[in-house]
């Protein structure tokens, strides 16, 4: 499969990955953790920050999460008042350790190549806004004592691994949230989040791919622009109600 290598196309791809990972790796798992333990988790993509990326994968996830949650504790009121500040903090402290381009390519597949530049731009903006509108408050209210990173061992020479974590819900039950990670030239990066056995990358790929096949990408964009959740998140909401 060939992908556009022009600057604008690459920037759009990275922004798409940022939007997907922002929703799946941070907002959705944390919102899920704050909900009663009804049903199963929904579906999409992964965790990281800008510290030296030479750590063991579990240590990397722990240090990134600790740094971001410390910042969240210090600026919670400001982030609650101005969601754009929260988005900037996520972009700065978390997303650098996600392989955004890899995840985005897996999610949209051939549909990214087939979309116009305007459609790519609008899809990314509409999806990101939908995720922030639906889950931003859950992230702002998340407390650091809810997250536990489990120890893992990576064999010498391994190029991929799973980092396992748990998130504690309000009712004290726990949700397994695992990060699929692989080696890149910049070190370990996450590219998918698996919540209760459900891959977010695969789920979003199935969701958007099926809709675009049936209705075209323009119909999906317009639905997101009107504030609708992706179908995978609608299913999550109905399971909790």
Tell me whether residue 223 is in a domain. yes
Residue 165 CA: distances (Å) to CA of 25, 130, 180, 182, 209: 12, 26, 11, 17, 29
Tell me whether residue 163 is in a domain. yes
Tell me whether residue 2 is in a domain. no
Predicted confidence (pLDDT) per residue in 93-138, tens digit: 877 888 877 877 787 778 878 888 888 778 777 776 776 666 666 7
Domain range for 228: 7-240
Domain of 147: which CATH number? 3.10.450.710
Tell me whether residue 13 is in a domain. yes
Identify the DSSP state of 27.
I
Q: How many domains does the chain have?
A: 1
Given this model, what pLDDT does residue 137 score?
A: 66
Predicted confidence (pLDDT) per residue in 37-46, tens digit: 544 443 333 3
Predicted confidence (pLDDT) per residue in 171-217, tens digit: 888 888 889 999 999 889 988 888 888 888 888 788 888 888 899 88
Alpha helices in the chain (DSSP H): 7-21, 28-33, 57-74, 76-81, 83-93, 100-108, 110-114, 117-140, 200-215, 217-225, 231-240
Tell me whether residue 1 is in a domain. no
CA 130, CA 23: separation in Å to the nearest integer? 9
Residue 222 CA: distances (Å) to CA of 52, 127, 201, 234: 40, 10, 22, 17
**Whole-number average pLDDT of the chain:** 74
């Amino acid at each position: 499969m060939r992908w556009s290598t022009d600057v604008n196309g690459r920037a759009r791809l990275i922004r798409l990955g940022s939007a997907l990972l922002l929703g799946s790796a941070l907002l959705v798992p944390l919102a899920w953790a704050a909900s009663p333990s009804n049903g199963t988790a929904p579906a999409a993509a992964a965790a990281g920050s800008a510290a030296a990326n030479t750590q063991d994968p579990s240590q990397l996830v722990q240090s990134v999460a600790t740094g971001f949650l410390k910042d969240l504790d210090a600026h919670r009121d400001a982030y609650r008042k101005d969601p754009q500040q929260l988005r900037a903090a996520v972009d700065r402290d978390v997303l650098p350790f996600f392989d955004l381009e890899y995840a985005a390519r897996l999610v949209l597949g051939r549909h990214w190549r087939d979309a116009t530049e305007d459609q790519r731009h609008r899809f990314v903006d509409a999806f990101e806004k939908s995720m922030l509108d639906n889950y931003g408050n859950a992230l702002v209210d998340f407390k650091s004592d809810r997250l536990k990173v489990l120890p893992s061992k990576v064999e010498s020479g391994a190029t991929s691994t799973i980092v396992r974590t748990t998130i504690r819900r309000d009712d004290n039950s726990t949700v397994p949230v695992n990060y699929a990670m692989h080696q890149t030239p910049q070190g370990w990066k996450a590219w998918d989040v698996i919540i209760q056995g459900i891959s977010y990358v695969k789920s979003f790929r199935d969701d958007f791919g099926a809709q675009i096949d049936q209705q075209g990408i323009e119909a999906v964009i317009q639905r997101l622009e009107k504030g609708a959740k992706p179908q995978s998140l609608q299913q999550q909401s109905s399971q909790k109600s």
